Amino acid sequence: MAREALRRVVTQIPGVTIAWMANDGAEALERAKADRPDLVLMDLIMPVMDGVESTRMIMRHAPCPIVVVTATVEGNASRVYEAIGAGALDAVDTPRLGSTGTQGDKALLGKIAAVRKMTSSEFRAAAAAPSVAKVPTAVAPTVVSTPTKVPAPQVPDPFDPFLLVAVGASTGGPQALATFLKSLPPTLPYAVVIVQHMDATFLPGLAQWLTSQTGRPVVLARQGDRPVPGSILVAGEAQQMIMKASGTLEYVAGDPDLIHRPSVDVFFESLANVRSRTGAAVLLTGMGKDGAAGMMALKNSGWRTFAQDRATSVVWGMPGAASQSGAAERTLAIDHIGPAVTAALSKPRPGVTP
């Protein structure tokens, strides 16, 4: 029934055809390797290989856009965020066959329309040589030097109460965010504010999932919130999030032509304009280049800047753009970024450069 419902939804879209259908995750992997599609609609509960592992393996061997389609996103929340952490772009409830036709198909049609805005060539270029977002213990951090010396921010003793760690992530972000947050000190001497590319309907669940995975309270940022040391906030609206000169977070409509709402670039650039704030900017796994320009603005304002390396990224698009442009001072494996950020923002010790 679920397969027939999906077939009916897809075949009603002009210019879209079904390339193949698979009975389980392992078959989906082999078919994707043999005939890479423009989009995979992936169930979660399947025999042989489930949807999470199939997503992870497809992103490794035949990267292409994947949208999770499951009987109930809310009921499978943990597995949904695992799949998104493995590289799925989004998730939606499976349409249902009813007496009057297919029901609940508008959400899926909207997801497909959003993915079609990305060309296959753009996705495959961004996903070149991807790997599973898992860090081998033997991997040492890779440091990318930049041609110009960046002035270290003036950090009072021992931490500036206005220090902020700003994080941007997209494809594969949930798992990378969980790893990053778990690597931070138990008592955070700075605030963490996250922009994750995700449908706004799933952001409350993301905050709850990160809380369950890390043991840290992660909450959605509200209009007028002021980040304080120890707080972890996630942009939670389908609007642009910015920081005002007053130090509060605000949601604004922003440029209607921007694909991402919220956009990492918009948030980072707003931070660069708040002179009373300083800190570190981090770009984690994600498709495209959102955040690279904003990170450069922060670097030029004296912020410390970090990008996730290719080996531990699901898609080395956003962090790759920051690394290759010189916006990121350091390009590190995901489990090295948290300690490096804390060291960079701590009080410099004699003879030690953060």
The residues that are catalytic are: 170, 197, 290
How many angstroms separate the CA atoms of 97 and 1, rounded?
Answer: 7
Report the candidate in 345, 344, 323, 347 with the shortest Cα–Cα distance to residue 333: 323
Q: Which helix (H) or strand (E) holds 91?
A: strand 90-93
Tell me the sheet residues that pair with 274: none
The contacts of residue 40 (CB under 8 Å, 6+ apart) are: 28, 32, 58, 64, 65, 66, 67
Question: From the centroid of its chain, how far is CA 337?
Answer: 15
| 42 contacts 69 by C-beta, under 8 angstroms | yes
Token reading at 341: 């950020």
How many angstroms separate the CA atoms of 148 and 249, rounded?
Answer: 31
| 329 contacts 299 by C-beta, under 8 angstroms | yes
- The letter for the amino acid at 183 is S
